[in-house]
Structure 1
Amino acid sequence: MTQTRLLAALVMAPVAIAAILLLPTDWMMALAAIVFLMGLWEWFDLADIEDTLARAVLLVAHLALMVTMVWASRAPSGFTFVLFQLMTVIGVVWWLLALFWLGRHRFASDHDTHARVFKLAAGALAVIPAWCALGWLHASDATASIIPGVPKGHLWLLTALMIVWAADTGAYFVGRKFGRRKLSPQISPNKTVEGLLGGLAVAVLAGLGFALLTGAGAAQLPAIAAAALIAGLFSVVGDLFESLLKRHAGVKDSGHLIPGHGGVLDRLDGVLAALPAFALAKAVLGF
């Protein structure tokens, strides 16, 4: 299984990196919308929305919201990201509230009552703000980085994603080698405190390393390290929340589209939480 995961990652990673670095923001957002909506389709399945027509209607409604936000953000002087920034803040607030849900892991586990409403709302609050944060980050700085032809904003988005991937990979290997204390055995029995700490350390190192590609100076590195740590912590919350949904649904993976990785949502869970956190931290800390 590890070999299959590695081969799939070797195919997906270069494609994702090339898209982030080379595509203009509007095309990047369009591509991201497709991927995020694929993950949302799997989220509907975890929320026990079995009717295909109902899921299609819900998906179109989310797409319409995305299109409406883009249309409403047009201005005579160009495109404004105010709505996207507002949604990013809403996303950060949602993931902080999600911590309370994780602490009461049986809440909304009964799909015969109100659970679907809560989980559908959670899906919207996870996917839409993450997509908005992605667009905001990608367009955040049009000045040249140390990589010729690549704007700094593109590299900031890549940095945010690398933080998530590093946190996940670091937690996996450190947890396997040194993991003793369970992090949340009732939600995700394989996650350990040692894995969490190792993943966060690797995430901070990845954030600092990729931030240097943007031309970040030494004075900015403490703020970048803090943002990477915050994003790494939020990615764990996103990962745990998807694990909670899967536990409620009684499934191991959100889907089977990606060999060795499960579904699209299995690759996006940490990203959905970390993107708004990193984008807001970047804006607040001023780097």
Structure 2
Amino acid sequence: MTRTRILAALLMAPVAIAAVLMLNTPWMAAVSAIVFLAALWEWLRLSDVEDTLARSALLVLNLLLMVAIVWASATGGGSLVLLKMLAMVGVAWWLAAMLWLRHYDFASAPDARSRIVKLMAGTLAVIPAWAALCVIHASEDGGHGNRWLLLALAIVWATDTGAYFAGRRFGRRKLAPRISPNKTVEGLMGGVAAGVLVAVAFAPLAGATVAQLPLVALVAVLTVLASVVGDLFESLLKRHAGAKDSGTLIPGHGGVLDRIDSVLAALPVFAFGKIWLGF
């Protein structure tokens, strides 16, 4: 399984990097929408929407919402204001999700109320993350938006790697034993260290000045913490659904949602931090 996982990652990583660096923002928005909607499809299944027709209808509604957002932004002279506002909505949602994690049994019953709450959560997780991705990639301030987006993703990837190795080597204290028994406080610290190191090392390539590096490091810390919340929240959904993975599309990795759960939470925080602190 480990060999399959590594091979799949080696295939996916260059494709993702090439897409971020080579596609213009409209194409990046379209490609990422496909990926994010694929993750939402799996989210709907974890939310106990088993009927394919119902899931398809909900997916189309979210797609239409994306189209409406693009249309509204275009008719506003290509302004990113709406996308920025949605990214901020994403930050607010993930703050609320932290409270949900503290109350494990909330919406855990297999009933209509729980299903509706999780469906709303899916839209609040996916749409703002997609909007944040577009905002970062567009970088209307004249910066290298594609490089900033790659840096945001690299922070998440470094966090996963650092947390894995630090957790295996030093892990003692459980971070959230009821939600994800394998995660440890030591792993979290390793993830923070790796994420910040990557951010500070590569931010100058995206256009950051030396004076801005402390601000980049601060945003990196918040981005890492958000990515952990996203990972834990998907684990919570899987625990409620009694599922090991969100899907089987990616060999050795599970589903699309399993791969981008951290990204969904990290992108709005990174976008908000970049806008707020002005780098």
TM-score by length of 2: 0.98
2:136: which partner in 1?
137
Deviation at 1:142, TM superposition (A): 6.8
Letter in 2 for 1:21: L
Letter in 2 for 1:132: A
> Does residue 1:84 correspond to 2:76, yes or no?
no
For these two proteins, the number of residue pairs brought into alignment is 279
> Does residue 1:6 correspond to 2:6, yes or no?
yes
1:195: which partner in 2?
187
CA distance in 2, matches of 1:142, 1:184: 39
CA distance in 2, matches of 1:200, 1:252: 26
CA distance in 1, matches of 2:164, 2:245: 17
**Any idea what SS the aligned residue of 1:79 has?**
coil
1:155: which partner in 2?
147
**Any idea what SS the aligned residue of 1:183 has?**
strand
Letter in 1 for 2:93: W
Cα deviation code 1:85-131 (max 9, x no counterpart): 11000000000000110000111111124110110010000000000
CA distance in 2, matches of 1:278, 1:54: 33
User: Share of identical aligned residues, percent?
Assistant: 64
**Any idea what SS the aligned residue of 1:260 has?**
coil
1:56: which partner in 2?
56
Task: Check 1:142–1:154 CA distance in 2 against 1; reply closer, same or farther (3 A cut).
Answer: farther
CA distance in 2, matches of 1:113, 1:217: 51
Letter in 2 for 1:110: A
CA distance in 1, matches of 2:221, 2:2: 27
The answer to whether the 8 Å contact 2:246/2:257 transfers is yes
2:24: which partner in 1?
24
> Does residue 1:110 correspond to 2:109, yes or no?
yes
Letter in 1 for 2:56: A
CA distance in 2, matches of 1:11, 1:209: 25
Higher helix share: 2
Deviation at 1:251, TM superposition (A): 0.8
Letter in 2 for 1:218: V
Mean Cα deviation higher: 41-50 or 210-219: 210-219
CA distance in 1, matches of 2:126, 2:110: 21
> Does residue 1:33 correspond to 2:33, yes or no?
yes
Cα deviation code 1:26-62 (max 9, x no counterpart): 0000000000000000000000001100000000000
Cα deviation code 1:231-278 (max 9, x no counterpart): 000000000000000000001100011011110000110000000000
The RMSD of aligned alpha carbons is 1.1
The answer to whether the 8 Å contact 1:92/1:276 transfers is yes
The answer to whether the 8 Å contact 1:141/1:152 transfers is no
CA distance in 1, matches of 2:141, 2:32: 19
Letter in 2 for 1:39: A
1:179: which partner in 2?
171
Unaligned residue ranges in structure 2 (runs of 5+): none
The answer to whether the 8 Å contact 2:167/2:184 transfers is yes
1:243: which partner in 2?
235
Letter in 1 for 2:48: D
Mean Cα deviation higher: 201-210 or 64-73: 201-210
Deviation at 1:75, TM superposition (A): 3.8
